[in-house]
Every structure is written in C-alpha cells, then in structure tokens.
Amino acid sequence: MHAALADPLRLRILDLLVLGDLTPGELVAELGVSTNLLAHHLGVLEREGIIVRGRSEGDRRRTYVRLRPAALSALGPSADAAAQRVVFVCSANSARSQLAEALWERTSTVPAVSAGTHPAARVAEGAVQVAAQHGVTLMGRPKLYTDVIATGDYVVTVCDRAHEELGVAAAHWSIPDPVPDGSARAFESAFAEIARRVDSLAAHLTPT
C-alpha cells in the first residue's frame, strides 16, 4: 500500500477522495491529466484495495470512485477544509440527507441543514424508524435546495441524482437510496454508511 501511494499523483487522488466520491471525469478535470494516465493510477489503487468503484443510481453511464472504508486507517490522510455551514442534499430530502443532517449535528460544531432538489411531501418513515433505533430524532421537513443554499455553504450531495443535477458540490457521497427498497435492512445500511461518512468529514472540516 505504501508503494502504491509513493506517487505524488496517487497521493493527490487520495486527498481528493478523503472528503467525497468523484467520477473519473471529475478527477481528470481536477488533476489535469489524460484519461489513460488516470486509468493507470486508479488501477494501481484499486489493486491494493484502496479504492472501489460503483455505478451511479442517476446516470447509469457514470461510475463513482470512492475510498474503501478503513483502507487507510493506519495512514491518516491530512486533507482539511473549512465551512460556515454544511448543506446535505439528496433528491427528495426524505431520508439520506435528513439522516446526515441529524448525525452531523451531534458530531460537529459546524452548523448543518439538509435539502432536496425535488423535495418529497414528508420524511420517509423508514428513515424516522432507523434514526430512532439509534437514538436520533428526525425533526425537519423536506426543503427545497434553492430555498436553503447560501454563499459560503459547504454542499455535500448524498445522492447521485442530486449531484449530477446540480453539477457542483464540495463533496459527494454516492450512497444508495433506501426508499425504493423500503426494507429495514436498506435503511440500516444507509444509516451506517452515512454515520461513517459524517465521522470522517467532521474530522477534516472546521468552522470558518
């Protein structure tokens, strides 16, 4: 693993992925390298179990590159950012972004809010139930992204569709939507992944 990270470009890829998931195209734009060179470096990182790739739930032609959970626990990446407020966004603001907001508020001193690009009428019951099982209360109602966003916000998209619709975000978490499945297992899986991501980002995000 250390040999795989000995290359400066691969270290830069690592720092970019610490805060969120990116498509290969977004990595090419950020790094200013060719697609062939990026593919080579991603291949090295993937062989060492440092990254994984997953298909977008929105545009199925896209894939998102993400860090494998716990792969770098012994290395301690040092990417940091600062924000006045965190805005968690998904398409309906009925589950993933609501959970992220609630978990963030008990983890970080940076204020947070959630919103949706196409907000639902109410918060999903499965999200309310899984939150309650973990001692978390979901109090907010779904809100429209354009009514919430303000200058200086650190936007975290937790939904592929929202990320692809908005086009920009400070960080993206490619988390499967538990609502279509509807099972307790799907909501529990989403809750666990969001909790892990919140803990990781909170360690790197400080108030401005």
Q: What percent of the chain has pLDDT over 90?
A: 82
Nearest of 77, 95, 33, 23 to residue 55 by alpha carbon: 23
From residue 122, alpha-carbon distances to 26, 94, 128 in Å are 33, 6, 11
Residues above pLDDT 70, as percent of the chain: 96
pLDDT tens digit sequence for 45-61: 999 999 999 999 999 99
Instruction: Report CA 6 to chain centroid distance, whole Å.
Output: 26
From-to residues of CATH 1.10.10.10 in the chain: 4-67
Is a pLDDT exceeding 80 seen at residue 63? Answer: yes
C-alpha 146/C-alpha 143 separation (Å) is: 9
Classify 22 as helix, strand or coil: strand
What's the confidence (pLDDT) of residue 81? 82
Numbered ranges of CATH 3.40.50.2300 in the chain: 81-207
User: For the whole model, what pTM was predicted?
Assistant: 0.76
The CATH H-level (homologous superfamily) assignment of domain 81-207 is: Response regulator (3.40.50.2300)
What's the mean pLDDT in 67-95?
82
Residue predicted with more confidence, 29 or 169: 29
Which CATH class name applies to 4-67? mainly alpha
